[in-house]
Amino acid sequence: MDELGRKTPELFRAADKIPVVLVLDNIRSMVNTGSVFRTADAFLLEGIVLCGLTGTPPHREIHKTALGATESVAWKYFEKTADAIRQLKKAHYTVIALEQATNSLDLKNFQPRKEIKYALVFGNEVKGVDDEVLALCDLCLEIPQFGTKHSLNVSVAAGIVTWDFYCKTGGFIQK
């Protein structure tokens, strides 16, 4: 691990973070939640907001895929996703839903800016982002898909979008 230059959870918590928060809107699968924790850890994101029926640590199923990322990544819980979004907007985040919706912008056509704080909202595995939450968002992005399925696993979508933001901003922060 020394050769990989991995941070300890303490060093992770003390490090400058990328100004991106991942918001999980009623995610059913705790394995998906754990996977999103690992993505947030891998990219040194500011944190995760867990909402509604989304499971919270500590939980065996989350830990199974988080592999300790629940110890490094800051997280908060809100009973209602809309309340979380309102609080993020008051803190000057640009809130973006990832959803197939009318007037959504293709991810490849979106250019994030380093100086803006983002909250990326990922919805329920069956129902997507709640309509009330969509109405509160500043923008809706869509990951283009070309096969027979009309959706991606939520943890895969979070990984794709986080990587896309990372690439388009030149890595967010300097090492």
CATH tag, 9-168: 3.40.1280.10
* 75-78: strand order across its sheet: 75-78, 45-51, 18-25, 117-122, 93-98, 139-142, 105-106
What are the domain boundaries of the chain? Answer: 9-168
- Round to whole Å and give the CA distance between 144 and 138: 20
pLDDT digits (tens, 9 = 90+) for 6-37: 788 787 888 888 899 999 999 999 999 999 99
In this structure, what token pair is assigned to residue 17? 């973070």
Q: If you average pLDDT over residues 78-93, what whole number do you get?
A: 98
Question: What type of residue is 108?
Answer: K
Mean pLDDT for all residues in the chain: 92
More confident of the two residues 79 and 175: 79
Residues 118, 159, 80, 72: what is their CA dihedral angle, to the nearest 10 degrees?
-80
The pair of structure tokens assigned to 23 is 């918001």
What does DSSP assign to residue 64?
H
pLDDT of residue 174: 43
- pLDDT above 90 covers what percent of the chain? 80
Mean pLDDT of all residues in 84-105: 96
